[in-house]
Structure 1
Amino acid sequence: MNTQSVIKEPVEEVVTGKAETKKLPHQNMKKLGLIGGTSWHSTVEYYATINQSVNAYYGNNTNPPLTVYTINQAEIHRFQKENKWDSIADLLTEGAFSLRKGGAESVMFCANTPHKVFDIVQSQLDFPIIHIGDATAKAILKKDVKNVGFLGTIYTMEGDFITKRIADNGINVLVPEEKEVLIELQRIIEEELTYGVVKPASKSYVLNVIKGLEDRGAEGVVLGCTEFPLMIFDEDLEIPTFDTTEIHSMAAVDFILGN
């Protein structure tokens, strides 16, 4: 596993301007449930980013009230290949109810692809799910970027359950057009990155795909699979990257701190 991003610097947006203001009493933090395991490598990134950012906010080792529910990724992959998205929705709903029983006031799916069944799961709950696409759109608008490339699983690139959510905010979203590219990106995610394996040849391939999107007018790129930040870093590109793992994690921090 590439652990470069597991231990992170405190996220500046949480720290800046807080030194002289009154902190939220730690007893008032909201409890959040994370539905992870898809993959556990990226779930670790969520957990690290949220904890480190809350630590930075308080200036000590105050930890947020988090509960993690891990889904069996092998089951998820099997249901995806069998096109059994209702079964995936059932697993996520079960996880959400379990977290709710543990006191969670909101939950999030720690990956992009599960958001394909977001509406199904949300319709069965009386508490909110924090949507990764909404958080990503806000981050893109904050950078004043109007055209973005989007890389993710084949399901997120062929579907519009994430890209439309972003595009509805006036942002033009570009995805790779060639079917063979979608298939190869899926292979890299499923056979390598979900196991924490980063191969130089695969990284070069992904960077070339991003260059192709840039040639089509992309002013930034959304790493719309929470495994891609294990491979692609800001310094690899000249255009801004939108790391959905970190963006979603920071939306979690905002919720926990009541922002």
Structure 2
Amino acid sequence: MNDKMNSLGLIGGTSWHSTIEYYSAINQSVNDHYGNNTNPPLLVYTLNQAEVHRFQIENKWDSIAHMLVNAAHSLNRGGAMAVLFCANTPHKVYDLVQEKLDFPVIHIADATAKEIHKKGLKKVLFLGTKYSMEETFITKRIEDNDIEVLVPEDQMVIDELHRIIIEELTYGKVIPSSKDYVISIIEKAKEQGAEGVILGCTEFPLMIFPEDLDIAVFNTTKIHSDAGVNYILNK
């Protein structure tokens, strides 16, 4: 059956906790598609998260792009016909990476915009790392699909959300008070007309679940994984 499927490479490690979610979701979806234990031709390359974070702090995004290009080429040599970054923030250097490759990188924002359209929503909140909230490499790509995207404007809120991701969630820690804080930010956005929330850090779904809220929740880990499954299955 593998001959009927496209090989996909996952560039993970940012963090490995969310990479596991990608791996699990993709395998389970392919199992469900075939109705048995058929697994996809899936390859995983794990980046050194400590090194990635160091380059982020030092504003050496070209070095992160270099890591991603090397990882993508390694996966391609192993047979992967396309790759995806198992996180939102690496998409800051998506264009730099894609221009170095002759095979596709499946973009997380494109997949997310499609899901928002399926729900018929026009205004959503985006939460992620400070890089993806302060810059537009994710939000602009979604907005180009006729969707209004809200992001927190208070720098203290941005910094605290980033801290929760970096100091807690990337270590697999889910602290109740932090969860309450994130939910409070989402509730405030509802007052501004947000019809849904994009969990634009692939660690947030470890903390926030659809049953926690009464608005639509867009889990970018699951959405991106599903896009990978569609590629694998030629859908």
TM-score normalised by the shorter chain: which range applies?
A: over 0.9
Report the equivalent of 2:188. 212
Please tell me the residue identity of whatever aligns with 2:100.
Answer: Q
Structure 1 residue 235, shift from structure 2 partner: 0.2
Contact 2:122 2:195 in 1 (8 A): yes
Q: Does 1:230 align with 2:168?
A: no
Report the equivalent of 1:145. 121
Structure 1 residue 26, shift from structure 2 partner: 3.8
Structure 2: stretches of 5+ with no match in the other structure: none
Q: Using the alignment, how far apart are the partners of 1:175 and 1:204 within structure 2?
A: 18
Structure 1 residue 213, shift from structure 2 partner: 1.1
Report the equivalent of 1:185. 161
Report the equivalent of 1:196. 172
After superposition, residues 113-132 of structure 1 pair within 5 angstroms as 113-132=89-108
Structure 1 residue 212, shift from structure 2 partner: 1.2
Picking from 109, 113, 117, the partner of 2:85 is: 109
Structure 1 residue 53, shift from structure 2 partner: 0.3
Sequence identity (%): 67
**3-state SS in 2 of match to 1:35:** strand
Q: Using the alignment, how far apart are the partners of 2:200 and 2:164 within structure 1?
A: 14
Structure 1 residue 214, shift from structure 2 partner: 1.1
Report the equivalent of 1:91. 67
Please tell me the residue identity of whatever aligns with 1:142.
Answer: K
TM-score with structure 1 length normalisation? Answer: 0.90
Picking from 8, 31, 37, the partner of 1:61 is: 37
Structure 1 runs (4+) deviating above 4 angstroms are none
Please tell me the residue identity of whatever aligns with 2:139.
Answer: T
Picking from 28, 50, 73, the partner of 2:26 is: 50
Structure 1: stretches of 5+ with no match in the other structure: 1-24
Please tell me the residue identity of whatever aligns with 2:135.
Answer: G
**3-state SS in 1 of match to 2:181:** helix
Structure 1 residue 28, shift from structure 2 partner: 1.2
Q: Does 1:174 align with 2:150?
A: yes
Q: Using the alignment, how far apart are the partners of 1:212 and 1:42 within structure 2?
A: 27
Report the equivalent of 1:81. 57
Report the equivalent of 1:13. none
Q: Deviations over 1:192-213 (max 9, x none)?
A: 0000000000000000011111
**3-state SS in 2 of match to 1:192:** helix
Q: Using the alignment, how far apart are the partners of 1:187 and 1:150 within structure 2?
A: 16
Contact 2:2 2:41 in 1 (8 A): no
Q: Does 1:248 align with 2:224?
A: yes
Q: Using the alignment, how far apart are the partners of 2:2 and 2:59 within structure 1?
A: 43
Structure 1 residue 27, shift from structure 2 partner: 1.8
Q: Using the alignment, how far apart are the partners of 2:192 and 2:57 within structure 1?
A: 31
Contact 2:186 2:197 in 1 (8 A): yes
**Higher percent of residues as helix:** 2
Q: Does 1:239 align with 2:196?
A: no
Q: Using the alignment, how far apart are the partners of 1:254 and 1:71 within structure 2?
A: 24
Please tell me the residue identity of whatever aligns with 2:232.
Answer: I
Please tell me the residue identity of whatever aligns with 2:49.
Answer: Q
TM-score with structure 2 length normalisation? Answer: 0.99
Structure 1 residue 156, shift from structure 2 partner: 0.2
Q: Using the alignment, how far apart are the partners of 2:50 and 2:190 within structure 1?
A: 34
